[in-house]
Structure 1
Amino acid sequence: MFNKYKILYQAQLGSGNSGILQLQVINKANAYPIENAAVQIYNKNNPSRVLYSLITDISGKTPEVELITPPIEYSLEVTPYQPYTEYIIIVTAKGYQTVVINSAQVLPVIKSIQPVSMSALIPGINDMEVIIIDPNYLFGTDTPKVYENDVKEYAEGTDAKPVMIPEFITVHNGVPSNLAARKYIVQYVSYVKSVVCSQIYATWPEETIHAYSLVVISFSLNRIYTNWYKRQGYDFDITSMVSFDQKWFYGRNIYTNVSRVVDNIFNNYLSRPGIIQPILTQACRGELAICPAMISLWGSKELGDRGYTAIEILRYFFGDTIYVNSTNNIAGTEVLWPGTDLTLGSSGKAVGHIQDQLITISGVYRAITVPEDDGTFGQATVAAISDFQEIFNLPATGILDFATWYKISRVYARITRGFGQ
């Protein structure tokens, strides 16, 4: 399928190694796309030279650009060399606060989306927002996670509640005792994607990415399910610190292959027989068998290279009793996915529901075809879903699958309720 966004500037590439970056710019208050935002991209090592000057379209998206990166080998084995290139991005738009991102981490071969949420400008008060993205966990110097019991006994028992996927998660951007640290209310699925992109490399095997995404999901759900921090008197669900929880950055770029894995499994989590709560699955940097009872990140990559499946990787580190569980208790969703893909010719209440949501979304994202509104999956609905998938970085198949259903639900919620970041 022709990709209307793609522009490649091969003449600027000297190393033969490159990755793809695209920006998606929205109004922070309501998630509406911002058209005609001006974007400038600089290599962090040469910030005086503008590499690209871009303008967003009616969907708030820029063309894709190809950017120089280090060799892919730097992200496939432990080396002292930074495996990604950092790019400073400046975004301006009339009536909005300027956003500076320092910086997007571009990996070789992989495409990533840089989300940008812009606030209304209040002159002299909020002229500029600067977003700092620190190194990936594998390349940085973060204090490692200290192992803690992976099941909280107080959360089990006859009054244990069912597991629910939250719509939002509140992230404390610092150590728990730092009361001055900023808190962010973030869409839960977006939070998971940011953590995965911040702790492993998206160039790794898909089964490793799948396995680690489940680790992040299960850890996050355990913190929420057990009210770990709220029981201690705090007003947040989780921190952004690896030494306590998981590494997370507000405003970082998201690799599309990671995004698609998470979109397909966000309602899964890791369980053990007889335990209701999601398991607090923890991680360390090390190689195989270097941190008992945790998943070794480099070790999981090695197992992926050997052909292990996601569940085989997980059982290698967490034991044979670990298994993948799932829940249909998904907060913020009006109607659950019907359980089977909907395609051309499908009909019924589920089709009508998604048509109603797409009609609302198409009034904001005007590049989306207006679908039929009769509960029948016709050609206009195929086109609407395909348009939506392209704008929101899903495979543009025109098929209403699990990932697309819930992505539509999340976008609809954001543009109609305007809450979360």
Structure 2
Amino acid sequence: MKNLRMQQEMTDRGRLEIRVNARIQARPVSGARVTVSYTGDPQNVIEELITDGDGRTETLDLATPPLEYSLEPNVNQPYSEYTVKVEAEGYEPVEVTGSELLSGEQSVQQVDLEPAEGAAFADVTIPDHTLFGEYPTKIPESEIKPTGESGEIVLSRVVIPEYVVVHDGAPTDSTARDYYVRYRDYIKNVACSEIYATWPDAAIRANILAIMSFTLNRVYTEWYRNKGYDFTITSSTAYDHKWIYGRNIFDSISLVVDEIFADYLSRPNVKQPILTQYCDGNRVSCPNWMSQWGSKNLADQGYSTIQILRNYYGDNMYINTAEEISGIPSSWPGYDLTIGSSGNKVLQIQEQLNVIAEVYSSIPTVYENGYFDEETQDAVEAFQRLFGLPVSGIVDYPTWYKIQSIYVAVTRIAELQ
């Protein structure tokens, strides 16, 4: 009955793209067969697709509930759920159940395939969003951890890690799996699990900053490792944030994370990122923490990102930037690379784009001469288009670090071959 009512209420539209990679090498899988159906009615196939040379499907236009369902606390489910099944020669089939789609938003569902070994197909289930489902409330903690005890703080400065290790359960649950997740991918996953991509930009940014600062506090203080655990953070809402294995990512959230991923929240004379706790503010009240729904309402009233954060955490809360970003070949030069730019930084980008083009066929190769010409601009535009960045042909801050990230992934593919 629920699924029938949901289909009757799906009056709006959203967009879904499926990306298929081989898990071991992270190489895009072309020619994979993809079927999409409503979750709850998986036998009724809506679309059948084949991935291209970059492991991508065409973008689908699919039904969603009305936009207003995600703009106010609501008993009605604000997102539609789709089941995505992927089959490819030489790989085990994978079925993802519950891929979420919101009105007016573009979603990317990544599916990672394992080599065929005769086992049954993998089944990935995406549970309810935290603003709609029932999850444990956060156990309050001090926002600043003590630093006086020997060994309490391991790091001397704030560093953006390449990976975090996510324990998919409560800290004491020894049966829960640990996952190595790229930091930016982790933040995108949590943000898509904790807030709605339909919210105003200022609210999305405020919540992402709170999520990143909380996470970096766990990294900086080695919180769980100092307690004898081998992971960085958990997926339990009682202790940390909700991270969901295999969930889809919304473009509007992904773009913001790519822009501000090195930022965190700080207070004067405090080295560590602040453990910025929050709650939904509707079913759960949390004085002195940020209210997720409240942040959305403040953004509707015209509050800026920093005004939202200071409304909840106080006027002495500031946005800071990490001193170091791990796992990249070279740091942002501090200026955009565009037509007419020249030098070693341009040469480096050209070399990296050519390595990436060996794996992603839609990116043209360029002449490596250290001069940013129209050929280089075309390659940058193709890269931006493929990886969901604004297509400008300019290597700005988000594009620079996205190229670094993909280049590292691609060179590791080469090492595995």
> What TM bracket, shorter-length normalisation?
over 0.9
Matched, 1:22 2:54: no
| Counterpart residue number, 1:394 | 389
Shift of 1:328: 3.9
Does 2:380 match 1:381?
A: no
Secondary structure at the residue paired with 2:205? helix
Q: Match of 1:133?
A: 126
Q: Please tell me whether the aligned partners of residues 288 and 296 of structure 1 are also in contact (alpha carbons under 8 angstroms).
A: no
SS in structure 2 at match of 1:47: coil
Q: 1:172 and 2:167 equivalent? A: yes
CA offset at residue 155 of structure 1? Answer: 7.1
Which of 218, 225, 234 is matched with 1:239 structurally? 234
After TM superposition, the structure 1 = structure 2 runs for residues 140-151 of structure 1, keeping only pairs within 5 Å, are 140-151=133-144
1:41 and 2:41 matched? no
In structure 1, distance between residues paired with 2:382 and 2:255: 17
Q: TM-score, normalised by structure 1?
A: 0.93
CA distance, structure 2, for counterparts of residue 289 and residue 70 of structure 1: 25
The residue type equivalent to 1:412 in the other structure is Y
Deviation at 1:368, TM superposition (A): 0.2
Deviations 1:130-174 (A, max 9, x none): 111111110010011121001111279998611000000100001
Query: Which residue in the other structure is 1:409 paired with?
Result: 404
- Report the counterpart of residue 4 of structure 1 in structure 2: none
Change in Cα spacing, 1:287 to 1:14, as seen in structure 2 (3 Å) is closer
Residue 51 of structure 2 corresponds to: 56
Distance 1:98 1:162, change over 3 A: same
* Alpha-carbon distance in 1 for matches of 2:266, 2:173: 32
Question: Is 1:278–2:273 an aligned residue pair?
Answer: yes
* CA displacement at 1:89 relative to structure 2: 0.6
Task: Say if 2:202 is the partner of 1:207.
Answer: yes
Indicate if the aligned counterparts of 2:9 and 2:65 stay in contact, CA closer than 8 A: no
Q: Does structure 1 residue 90 correspond to structure 2 residue 85?
A: yes
Task: Compute the displacement of 1:63 (Å).
Answer: 0.5
Cα distance change, pair 67–277 in 1 and its aligned pair in 2 (3 A): same
The residue aligned with 2:348 is: 353
* Residue in structure 2 matched with residue 219 of structure 1 by the alignment: 214
Cα offset, 1:106, TM superposition: 0.4
TM-score (norm 2): 0.94
Q: Contact 2:263/2:322 (CA < 8 Å) preserved in 1?
A: yes
Secondary structure (helix, strand or coil) at the match of 2:44 reads strand
Could you tell me which amino acid in structure 2 is paired with residue 150 of structure 1? E
Tell me which of 143, 151, 154 is aligned to 2:147.
154
2:73 maps to which of 78, 100, 114: 78
The structure 1 residue matched to 2:109, chosen from 114, 132, 143, is: 114
| 1:7 corresponds to | none
Note the C-alpha offset of 1:46: 2.0
Question: By how many angstroms is 1:102 displaced?
Answer: 1.1
- Counterpart CA distance in 2 for 1:156 and 1:372 is 55
- Tell me the distance in 1 between the aligned counterparts of 2:181 and 2:226: 21
Q: Contact 1:13–1:68 (CA<8 Å) still a contact in 2?
A: no
Query: SS of the residue aligned with 2:43?
Result: strand
> Identity of paired residues, percent?
44
How many angstroms apart in 1 are the aligned matches of 2:283 and 2:101?
27
Maintained 8 Å contact 2:163/2:181:
yes
What is the aligned length?
406
Report how far residue 43 of structure 1 moved.
Answer: 0.4
- What are the Cα deviations for residues 347-401 of structure 1, in whole angstroms up to 9, with x where unaligned? 0111111111111000111110112201111111111111111111111111101
Counterpart residue number, 1:104: 99
- Whichever residue aligns with residue 81 of structure 1, its letter is N
- Listed one character per residue, the Cα deviations across residues 160-206 of structure 1 (whole Å, up to 9, x for unaligned) are 61100000010000111111111100111000000000011100001
Q: 1:32/1:13 Cα in 2 relative to 1: closer, same or farther (>3 Å)?
A: farther
Distance (whole Å) between structure 1 residues aligned to residue 367 and residue 332 of structure 2: 19
- 1:303 and 2:302 equivalent? no
SS in 2 for 1:325: strand
Judging changes above 3 Å, is the alpha-carbon distance between structure 1 residues 156 and 31 closer, same or farther for their aligned structure 2 residues? farther
Counterpart CA distance in 2 for 1:14 and 1:142 is 25
Cα distance in 1 between the residues matched to 2:45 and 2:384: 31
- Decide whether aligned partners of structure 1 residues 154 and 328 sit closer, same or farther in structure 2, where only a CA change above 3 A counts: closer
Aligned partner of residue 207 in structure 1, secondary structure: helix
- Distance in 2 separating the partners of 1:295 and 1:249: 22
**Is the CA contact (8 Å cut-off) linking 1:28 and 1:118 kept in structure 2?**
yes
CA RMSD in angstroms, aligned pairs only: 1.9
Q: What is the distance in 2 between the residues matched to 1:186 and 1:227?
A: 17
Confirm or deny that 1:254 pairs with 2:246: no
Indicate how the Cα distance of structure 1 residues 296 and 321 shifts in structure 2: closer, same or farther if over 3 A, else same: same
The residue type paired with residue 140 of structure 1 is G
Would the aligned equivalents of 2:137 and 2:284 in 1 still touch at CA under 8 Å?
no
In structure 1, stretches of 5+ residues that fail to align are 1-11
Q: Which runs of 4+ in 1 moved over 3 A?
A: 12-16, 155-160, 287-290
Question: How far has the Cα of 1:414 moved from its partner?
Answer: 1.1
Deviation at residue 64 of structure 1 after TM alignment: 0.5
Deviates more, 1:168-177 or 1:113-122: 113-122
Please give the alpha-carbon distance, in whole angstroms, between the structure 1 residues aligned to 2:386 and 2:177: 30
Q: Secondary structure at the match of 1:113?
A: strand
The one-letter code matched in structure 1 to 2:330 is V
State the Cα distance separating 1:289 from its structure 2 match: 10
Letter of the aligned partner of 1:199 in structure 2? E
* More deviation, 21-30/410-419: 410-419
CA contact (8 A) 2:154 2:220 kept: no
